């Protein structure tokens, strides 16, 4: 009996610590948004691959609109402005069912979102509900679930693609569906508006162009591959070129006006030891900056070409997020869930964070370049700030929402939708 007491006294402190840790992990209390460290969930270190080069970034800018996935047709998001402080206010509004939400779009002080139940909803940037439109045709009401696609904005119209096989136009002023184009093929990504045309990619890799009145201009069938990601990349455009990223890693450049092929490159990668021959689906949308095109495949590599299709460099670092190109660097989330910085000119890896989280179901979402810092969200409900130059974790805040749509930043407000169908507006 005495020996038991001795053992108990010896390990009492450890038992108390374990109980404390357990209680923290089981707490459902909402945590105030501020500078906090959670050493239990997010332990991150950064590994330097090459000598840290001097960081040069473009000047931060404040945008008052986000008209399509990737902000503009070229997907050049750039360096953004945000009033960073120790404590933030956050508005939460339930807008739809649980599920997968695509990137929101914003015009003026209005946020537009496509829900998985087939509604386009509009909210004020202060969280006030404005209106909703049911986009599901009458003959398909029984299939009104798990609808995906996305939105883009052209002047006073929302252009929408959906997994129901349609392209739609909604007049923002009167909330009426102006026209429908039934292509009878599911769309996986939002449409792109460039010039006076609409561009989109179907789930089975058909590129198409429509007029702003919903008239089909041309179609182009992409290479047929066995590997496809449900979250497909969308086209990018600049000048007279529109880029279509197809599943399997083929990047096709077409004349924006007539659909004639300008060039094509295939960045597929052999998958040794797999029944599938190639794996090369694009993990993020192509980005056009100046005379260069930047793209990354989910299981292959990051690469840069000229606007004429000539490969400038390639690096065997796969990615599954948006690309941020600014100054002399490229930032993205790699295929193994790390934050990465690449030298824009040479393609060399500068650093890569190493995730020490034991729960591998936790994923990172982002990044956004915000006043020379990198903002990343985690699927376990954290907002994390990293030093852009070195990749060091600066601070993190508990937001308590599992992010579904990639966060955007408009007029100094961070906006995203959670997997529970909750709109979050952080300022």
Q: What is the pLDDT of residues 102-125, one digit of tens each?
A: 899 999 999 999 999 999 999 999
383 within 8 A of 53, measured Cβ to Cβ: no
Would you say residue 396 has pLDDT above 90?
A: no
Please report the beta strands in 68-205, taking only residues with DSSP state E, as ranges in sequence order.
Answer: 79-80, 90-94, 105-107, 110-114, 119-124, 129-134, 149-154, 157-162, 166-171, 176-182, 192-194, 197-201
Give backbone dihedrals phi and psi of 24, rounded to 5 degrees, phi first.
-65, -45
Three-class DSSP category at 359: coil
User: What is the C-alpha to C-alpha distance for residues 132 and 115, in angstroms, rounded to an integer?
Assistant: 10
Indicate the number of domains in the chain: 1
- To the nearest whole number, what is the mean pLDDT of the chain? 81
- How do residues 228-243 score in pLDDT, each as one tens digit? 444 468 999 999 999 9
- Domain containing residue 361: 29-413
Asked if the structure places residue 195 within a domain, the reply is: yes
Asked if residue 311 is part of any domain, the answer here is yes
**Is the residue at 279 inside a domain?**
yes
- Residue 253's domain is classified under what CATH number? 2.130.10.10
* Residue 107 lies inside a defined structural domain of this protein: yes
In a domain? residue 10: no
User: What b/e readout covers 347-363, taking b as 16+ CB neighbours within 10 angstroms?
Assistant: bebbbbbebebeeeebb
Nearest to 112 by CA among 96, 100, 124: 124
pLDDT in tens, 198-238: 999 998 889 999 999 999 999 998 876 554 444 468 999 99
Task: Kindly state whether residue 303 falls inside one of the protein's structural domains.
Answer: yes
Q: Is 68 exposed, middle or buried (0-12, 13-18, 19+ CB in 10 A)?
A: buried
User: What one-character-per-residue DSSP string does 154-188 give?
Assistant: ETTEEEEEETTSEEEEEETTTTEEEEEEE-SS-B-
Asked if 270 and 276 count as a contact pair (C-beta separation under 8 A), the reply is no
366 located within any domain: yes
* CA-based end-to-end distance of the chain: 60
**344 belongs to a structural domain:** yes
Instruction: Find the mean pLDDT for residues 351-357.
Output: 70
């Amino acid at each position: 009996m005495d020996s038991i007491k001795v053992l108990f006294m010896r390990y009492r402190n450890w038992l108390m610590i374990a109980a404390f840790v357990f209680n923290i992990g089981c707490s459902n209390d909402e945590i105030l948004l501020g500078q906090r460290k959670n050493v239990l969930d997010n332990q991150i270190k950064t590994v330097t691959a090459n000598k840290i080069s001097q960081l040069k970034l473009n000047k931060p800018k404040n945008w008052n609109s986000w008209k399509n996935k990737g902000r503009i047709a070229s997907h050049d998001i750039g360096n953004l402005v945000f009033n960073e402080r120790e404590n933030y206010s956050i508005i939460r509004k339930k807008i739809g069912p649980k599920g997968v939400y695509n990137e929101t779009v914003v015009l003026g002080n209005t946020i537009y979102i496509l829900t998985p139940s087939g509604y386009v909803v509009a909210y004020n940037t202060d969280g006030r509900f404005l209106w909703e439109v049911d986009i599901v045709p009458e003959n398909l009401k029984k299939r009104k679930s798990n609808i995906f696609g996305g939105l883009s904005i052209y002047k006073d119209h929302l252009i929408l693609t959906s997994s129901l096989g349609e392209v739609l136009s909604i007049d923002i002023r009167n909330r009426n569906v102006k026209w429908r184009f039934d292509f009878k093929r599911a769309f996986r990504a939002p449409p792109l508006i460039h010039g006076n045309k609409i561009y989109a990619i179907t789930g089975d890799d058909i590129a198409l162009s429509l007029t702003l009145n919903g008239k089909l201009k041309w179609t182009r069938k992409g290479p047929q591959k066995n590997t496809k990601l449900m979250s497909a990349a969308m086209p990018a455009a600049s000048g007279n070129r529109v880029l279509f990223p197809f599943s399997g890693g083929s990047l096709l450049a077409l004349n924006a006006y007539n659909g004639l092929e300008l060039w094509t490159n295939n960045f597929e990668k052999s998958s040794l030891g797999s029944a599938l021959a190639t794996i090369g689906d694009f993990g993020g949308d192509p980005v056009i900056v100046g005379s260069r095109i930047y793209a990354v495949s989910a299981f292959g590599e990051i690469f840069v070409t000229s606007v004429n299709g000539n490969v400038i460099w390639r690096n065997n670092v796969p990615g599954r997020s948006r690309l941020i190109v600014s100054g002399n660097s490229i930032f993205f989330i790699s295929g193994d869930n790390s934050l990465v910085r690449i030298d824009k000119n040479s393609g060399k890896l500068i650093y890569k964070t190493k995730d020490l989280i034991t729960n591998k179901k936790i994923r990172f979402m982002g990044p956004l370049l915000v006043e020379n810092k990198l903002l990343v969200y985690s699927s376990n409900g954290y907002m994390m700030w990293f030093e852009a130059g070195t990749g060091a974790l600066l601070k993190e805040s508990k937001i308590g929402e599992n992010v579904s749509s990639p966060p955007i930043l408009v007029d100094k407000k961070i906006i995203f939708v959670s997997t529970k169908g909750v709109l979050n507006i952080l300022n």
